[in-house]
Amino acid sequence: MIYNLGELFCGPGGIAWGALHADIGNKDFGIVHQWANDYDKDTCETYRKNICPDRPDTVYHEDVRKLNMDKLAKINALAFGFPCNDFSVVGEQKGIDGVYGPLYSYGVKALKKFEPNWFLAENVGGLRNANDGTAFAKILKDFREAGYEITPHLYKFEEYGIPQARHRIIIVGIKKGLPEVFRVPSPKPYSDIDNTCKNAIENPPIAKDAPNNERTKQSDVVIERLKYIKPGQNAFTAEIPKHLQLNIAGAKISQIYKRLDPKKPAYTVTGSGGGGTHIYHWKENRALTNRERARLQTFEDTYEFVGSKESVRKQIGMAVPCKGAQIIFEAILKTFAHIKYDYVEASIKE
């Protein structure tokens, strides 16, 4: 079966790229774009440019709270990476009581309206602990009551060959009454992949005219500070002269001026943050370019992001790694095609 995918909170298209490139060797099973929605204008333009350039009108730039779902075409598959702001460990962690916390309910609304055969929902690992665990329990309960058997799992994408330590809860739901049972794909087939950040950024070399590859102008102080920081160290673990040290009270975030370790996957690519949070090259005294950050998220170099440099940084940091999403979508397609694949037990027990 070919699945028509609708997407809420679509971001720049990491999930969509993974869906559209999912290939299980059977042309009768695949996923195609039907429509998408996001509140951010640049993000929608990026999605249109790369995912559906021939159908730009199928991407709705609207606040999901005001989106009229009656105007959306029918779908039999749904994806939504609902906003993580209130569930992230970096932040106030208001959970379901925050501004963004309740937005998952629009995914539930879409499930009830369109009754797709399956859905994929994504959020940060901190979702499990928000509101002392009650938020996560409510979200899962609402997915079930919408009519779905669900499989929540904490995916550690670096275990799947992705060159980045990125841990995300992904919930796959299959419509109750269908005979198929989803299993979490095993990371074992990807254990031989070179997922070091050095390999991702350097092989092949990024073309000089690649889009979104402009460098950040570093101040003399930052350049001088980075000279004292070794690969894998940050501004608080390195031995830095007093005049270059950061005077920060309270929590010392480990990613401040943290250099990558070229022998390991990158640490988590984020979409926001002030000075010192841009991810720093292991050898050169500079922050990564957006193109290099996009490689850590497994976007191809031809994937062009629209917007200012900071807007692009945000888009890349908020995305799901393309090839990580592809692995999960292929497992979903194999489930419905009744093709066996290696799997592991879901890590989240209820």
Give me the mean pLDDT over the 297-312 stretch.
Answer: 97
The H or E element spanning position 37 is: strand 30-38
The pTM score is 0.93
Distance CA 278, CA 284 (A): 14
Amino acid at 203: N
Q: What is the pLDDT of residue 246?
A: 84
Q: How much is the pLDDT for 342? A: 97
Q: Is the pLDDT of residue 90 over 50?
A: no
The structural domains of the chain, ordered by start, are 2-190+320-344 (3.40.50.150)
CB atoms within 10 A of CB 321: 27
Nearest in space to 169 (alpha carbons), one of 142, 134, 197, 129? 129
Q: In angstroms, how far apart are the furthest CA atoms of the chain?
A: 66
Compute the distance between CA of residue 240 and CA of residue 38 in angstroms, rounded to an integer: 43
Which of these is catalytic: 10, 44, 84, 322? Answer: 84
Q: What is the mean pLDDT of residues 154-159?
A: 97
Nearest to 123 by CA among 111, 113, 114, 135: 135
CA 316 to chain CA centroid, Å, is 8
Q: What's residue 129's pLDDT?
A: 74
Residue 91 has what pLDDT?
A: 46
List pLDDT tens digits, range 10-58: 999 999 999 999 999 999 999 999 999 999 999 999 999 999 999 999 9
Measured at the CA of 89, the angle between CA 245 and CA 142, to 5 degrees, comes to 170
Query: How confident is the model at residue 88, as a pLDDT?
Result: 43
Residue 253 has pLDDT above 70, yes or no: no
Q: How confident is the model at residue 62 (pLDDT cuts 50, 70, 90)?
A: very high
- The model's pLDDT over 127-142, given as tens digits with 9 standing for 90+, comes to 777 666 777 888 899 9
Residue 92 main-chain phi, psi, to 5 deg: -85, -15
Task: Give the pLDDT score at 148.
Answer: 98
Mean model confidence pLDDT for the chain: 91
Is residue 94's pLDDT more than 90?
Answer: no
Q: Cβ(172)–Cβ(119) under 8 Å?
A: yes
Instruction: Tell me which of 78-82, 91-95, 209-213 is least confident.
Output: 91-95
Q: What are phi and psi of 128, to 5 degrees?
A: -65, -30
Could you tell me where the DSSP H helices lie in the chain? 14-20, 41-50, 104-114, 134-145, 197-202, 220-226, 290-296, 309-318, 322-337
Q: How far apart are the C-alpha atoms of 177 and 67, rounded to whole Å?
A: 29
pLDDT at 248: 72
Rounded Cα–Cα distance for residues 279 and 262 (Å): 12
Q: Inform me whether the pLDDT recorded for 275 exceeds 90.
A: no
Give the angle subtended at the CA of 88 by the CAs of 278 and 6, to the nearest 5°.
Answer: 95
Burial of 295 (0-12, 13-18, 19+ CB in 10 A): buried
- Between 31-45, 241-255, 267-281, 334-348, the lowest mean confidence (pLDDT) is in 241-255
Helix, strand and coil percent figures for the chain, each rounded to 5: 35, 15, 50
259, 230 Cβ separation under 8 angstroms: yes
Cβ neighbours, 10 Å, residue 72: 19
Cβ pair 59, 36 in contact under 8 A: yes
Confidence label for 86 from pLDDT (cuts 50, 70 and 90) = very low
Which of the residue ranges 85-94, 161-170, 181-190, 329-338 would you say has the lowest mean pLDDT?
Answer: 85-94
- pLDDT band per the 50, 70, 90 thresholds, residue 102: confident
Q: Where are the beta strands (DSSP E) in 157-283?
A: 167-175, 184-185
pLDDT at 269 over 70: yes
Predicted confidence (pLDDT) at residue 100 exceeds the cutoff of 60: no
Determine whether 84 is an active site residue. yes
Is the predicted pLDDT of residue 87 greater than 90, yes or no? no
Beta-carbon-side half-sphere exposure of residue 225 (alpha carbons within 13 Å): 24
